[in-house]
Amino acid sequence: MLNQNIGQGEGVYISTYGCQMNVNDTERMLSLLEMVNFVPVETPEKASLIIINSCSVREKPVHKVHSEAGKYQKMKEKNPRLRIGVGGCVAQQEKQKLLKDVPVLDFVFGTDAIDKLPEIVAQAYELQPNGYPQKVVSARFENEKPYSVETLVRNPGVSTFVNIMKGCDNFCTFCVVPFTRGRERSRTMKEILTDLNALAARGVKEVTLLGQNVNSYESDCSANFATLLKTIAEDTKIERIRYTTSHPKDFDQELVDISAKYRSKICDYIHLPAQSGNTEVLKRMNRGYSREEYLAKVKMIRDGIPGVILTTDLIVGFPGETEEQFEDTVSLIREVRYDNIYAFKYSPRPFTKAAKYEDQVPEDEKQRRLAKLLEVQREIAFELAKDYENITTDVLIEGPAREEGLYQGRTTQNKIVYFKDGTTDMIGKTMPFKITSAFPNVLRGEFAH
């Protein structure tokens, strides 16, 4: 039986890199570690257990782990109880090698080993006969279907995240996710609904359904993603439903129709990663759609759900991308007019096909293209923001804002609204607000009586 007092009331600190999936995983890790008497702390200096929840999607991921772990070397010399581990995508990718390359580490656990974290930590606290702590690696993919995981959130507040599926089978040539998160596996609809009802009973009003490719969701009873959304809208008390990430090739008319029908619950916000605006580049990325097909999906969505907000992911400087091909990405954002873009310079990832392409774009050229794309988007975002001024819109109140003395809430389009004179009894309520000024990242408003 697992010792329920592994933590002995001492601190655990987790530093989190990367996407929303990782933020959600960190919450899960903290929930599990609290159950064995660790106490979350805000700084590594107060901790006896430090975990780096790593991401390998962006640049120099392994280097980031080495450099953060290196900073803890001195702390470890002073505190013999300190254990340091790495989870997330870099852990999954590097496994045993990470322990060899970074001697300060005690344990490495992969993306499918999170639920074993208390056991892994317990092992890491065991001393070997030579008096040194045991080093632990747990990084095997669990491939059984369905994927079963109870949502663990300590203080969900008004809005929280719920995993509905994990992994990806698409193998875009730039992306490491299929290698670090494994094959697609979905949770059963029953399990998701049970979680959502429990969260609603705890006061949650809004959920974001998470998966690397939510449109591929398929429950054990063959329900697809559109059916899942419809069932959540009809059968739970959750008031607002968001989801991320969608794959354009799998976004179909049925999903648009369900989103339109249950518009009061399914939010007017869709993140639809394009990655490039050029068909040849999209082909080399193995995205499964052309520029024209992507634009046809945008039209289908906007025709079915007028006023819906679109955001996207884009990569500049993909191997072989010419200036003309890059300009097609610039023209795509001008044509679609996204509310927001998440744009990155291409950087090679281990195991991926594109890393072996020989026609890599020089770094300074990638930088120039990124700067240009962001500048064009800035203009678009400022223009679009003006459309919000003087409108009255429903806002779900979340609580105090970062800005002193203000409260904040969110529109169905995922826009944050700051306002004065907020009170705690407003939290969790949806109220009408008149927008008095609008900027790309924040709106300001006042309660519309």
Site string for ligand SF4, 172-211 (x = CB under 6 A): x--x-xx---------------------------------
What's the rounded Cα separation, in Å, for the pair 159 and 353? Answer: 38
213 binds ligand SF4 (CB under 6 A): yes
The least distance separating ligand SF4 from the CB of residue 378, rounded to whole angstroms, comes to 25
Nearer to ligand SF4, 351 or 382 (CB): 351
187 versus 247: smaller Cβ distance to ligand SF4 = 247
Give the whole-angstrom CA distance, residue 309 versus residue 440. 13
Question: For ligand SF4, what does the binding mask look like between residues 236 and 265, x meaning CB under 6 A?
Answer: -----------x------------------
Question: Which region among 90-98, 132-140, 169-177, 331-339 touches ligand SF4 (by CB under 6 A)?
Answer: 169-177
| Region binding ligand SF4 by CB under 6 A among candidate stretches 22-30, 165-173, 188-196, 403-411 | 165-173
- Rounded to the nearest whole angstrom, what is the least distance from the CB of residue 162 to ligand SF4 in the complex? 18
Q: Which is nearer to ligand SF4, 171 or 439 (CB)?
A: 171
Q: End-to-end alpha-carbon separation of the chain, Å?
A: 58
Task: Report the distance separating Cα 120 and Cα 356, nearest Å.
Answer: 35
Stretch that binds ligand SF4, among 171-179, 236-244, 260-268, 394-402 (CB under 6 A): 171-179
Instruction: Write the CB contacts of 96 (distance below 8 Å, at least 6 apart in sequence).
Output: 108, 137
Q: Which is nearer to ligand SF4, 204 or 343 (CB)?
A: 343
The residue among 111, 89, 108 whose CA lies nearest residue 99 is: 108
Among 70, 103, 171, 367, binds ligand SF4 (CB under 6 A): 171
List CB contacts of 19: < 8 A, sequence separation 6 or more: 55, 57
Dihedral sign for Cα atoms in the order 391, 396, 399, 402: negative
Q: Are 415 and 388 in contact (CB under 8 A)?
A: yes
Of 28, 83, 15, 80, nearest to 54 (Cα)? 15
How many residues of this chain interact with ligand SF4, rule: CB under 6 A?
A: 10
241: enclosing H helix or E strand: strand 240-244
CB-based contact 298:273 (threshold 8 Å): no
- Quote the least distance from Cβ 213 to ligand SF4, whole Å: 5
Q: Which is nearer to ligand SF4, 311 or 411 (CB)?
A: 311
DSSP 261-272: HTTTTB-SEEE-
Nearer to ligand SF4, 175 or 256 (CB): 175
**Residue with token string 């774009």:** 361
Query: Which C-beta is closer to ligand SF4: that of 54 or that of 212?
Result: 212
Pairing, β 416-419 against β 407-410: antiparallel
In the complex, the smallest distance separating the C-beta of residue 311 from ligand SF4, rounded to whole angstroms, is 15
Structure tokens that stand for 429 in this block:
């309520």
- Chain centre to alpha carbon of residue 402: 21
User: Shortest gap between Cβ of 170 and ligand SF4 (angstroms)?
Assistant: 4
- Residues of this chain that interact with ligand SF4 (CB under 6 A) are 168, 170-172, 175, 177-178, 212-213, 247
